[in-house]
């Protein structure tokens, strides 16, 4: 993706997301939305990045 600019405030290692820098474990969005899929979240695994968009294209 062109114009990707690392946001030093958002660390992320989800390389399958098109907003991930991949070469560095950071997100390139200015702002992300985090939510949960649980009624009563208790651990980090209960939370989700709702800004995730699956990366498409070759080599990924």
Residue 55 burial class via C-beta count within 10 angstroms: exposed 0-12, middle 13-18, buried 19 and up: middle
CB of 12 to ligand SF4, least distance (A): 3
First to last CA, the chain: 12
Q: CB-wise, 1 or 14, nearer to ligand SF4?
A: 14
CB of 57 to ligand SF4, least distance (A): 15
List residues near ligand SF4 by CB under 6 A. Answer: 10, 12, 14, 17, 19-20, 27, 29, 32, 49, 51-52
CB of 27 to ligand SF4, least distance (A): 3
Handedness of CA 18, 22, 8, 40 (dihedral sign): positive
């Amino acid at each position: 993706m062109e114009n990707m600019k690392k946001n030093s405030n958002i660390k992320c290692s989800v390389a399958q997301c098109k907003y991930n820098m991949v070469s560095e474990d950071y997100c390139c969005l200015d702002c992300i939305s985090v939510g949960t899929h649980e009624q009563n979240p208790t651990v980090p695994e209960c939370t989700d990045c709702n800004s995730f968009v699956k990366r498409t294209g070759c080599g990924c």
